[in-house]
Amino acid sequence: MDSLLKHMVDMTGHRDHTMLDISVISAVQELARASQARVLTLATVRGKVFVRPRALIVAGEPACMVDTSDQHHPGEPIENFPALARCIDLHESGADIANEAGEHTLWLPIWLGDKADTCLEIVNPTPYTSDTIHIIGGIVAVYRNFQNLLDYSERDSLTGLLNRKTFDDQLAKMLAASIEQDSVTLPGEPERRHHGEQEKQWLAVVDVDHFKHVNDRFGHLYGDEVLILIANLLTSSFRAQDRVFRFGGEEFVVLLRSTTLDNAKKIIERFRLNVASHDFPQVGKVTVSVGFVSISALEAPVIILGHADQALYYAKSHGRNLVCHYDELLSGGLLQTTASNDTAEFF
């Protein structure tokens, strides 16, 4: 009982999805005496569901997050897990199967309404007792409720995207990650050599062109629908590991995880084209302008955001429906290095 209470206190003390994942698999592994436990993401790509691990614990070892940065592999098709696929199709609370060696695997989808995009997988060398199932069920219920609370506090109510409040924490994490990737050599360190194009973290600011005209001509209900559809296009155009935020009004921000400049351009340009080719109900055609910049651990967040804003402002004032890279504009003499422009209004 003391161990259960300790894990419950640990789980309910987190305000971060990553630490919540670590906490829940640590709890179920210890309390179920499992050989392994994982948090799985159930992701839908082009109408097909894929299973991808995002956190793992093996008996006797600490829990850890699983690297999901490889955009070319969405995971294993759910058809490779027939019992889990059937459980999801029938909206069941769980599925338990045993292999030829008698090892049991228990899958517990985390249902939020009629949707489950997370699942716990617990592997045990022996069958689960009713007491174990009861305890795990309680842990899963707490985990589900806290996931729901975190989603509610982190997301914009209109679009469902991450909100401005969540941005600072996510950017801080990317800045920490960029320390290992930054090409700057500090005093006393040996010179770093990079082969090929370096992968970096990127920040992109997106603004809907002529959005005031949409509201004025068609009304705010259609304006809101445009924002919702833009949010959907952002989600479908960027990669699963990227983070998309609504900053308010018609402005969005995207944090792109480790990728090259060339690939970042392709991903952002793909989004711009997806918007330009989309038919918005009643409104017709809508375009977006984008400014983006690489993230450096040696620069303050307000400076990074300001540079992306400058690139966006250049795109807005040079025809709109453009993607502009801050460093290229700077090296081409098209921009001057200035303090961040927090009060710029985009038209």
DSSP code string of 324-341: EEHHHHHHTTSS------
pTM check: above 0.85: no
pLDDT score of 60: 92
pLDDT value of residue 251: 96
- Of the residues 30, 250, 299, 345, only one is catalytic, namely 250
- The answer to which of 95-104, 192-201, 223-232, 319-328 has the lowest mean pLDDT is 192-201
Average pLDDT across the chain, whole number:
85
The distance of Cα 168 from the centroid of its chain, to the nearest Å, equals 14
Residue 207 pLDDT level (bands cut at 50, 70, 90):
very high
For residue 157, give the 3-state DSSP assignment.
coil
State residue 342's pLDDT score. 46
**Alpha carbons 276 and 257: distance in angstroms, whole number:** 24
Q: Which residue has the tokens 């436990």?
A: 37
In the chain, % of residues over pLDDT 70: 83
Tell me if residue 119 falls in helix, strand or coil: strand
Question: Is there a contact between 162 and 243 (Cβ–Cβ < 8 Å)?
Answer: yes
Per-residue pLDDT at 331 exceeds 50: yes
- Give the model's pLDDT for residue 78: 94
Phi, psi dihedral angles at 29 (to 5 degrees): -65, -45
- For the question of residue 250 being annotated catalytic, the response is yes
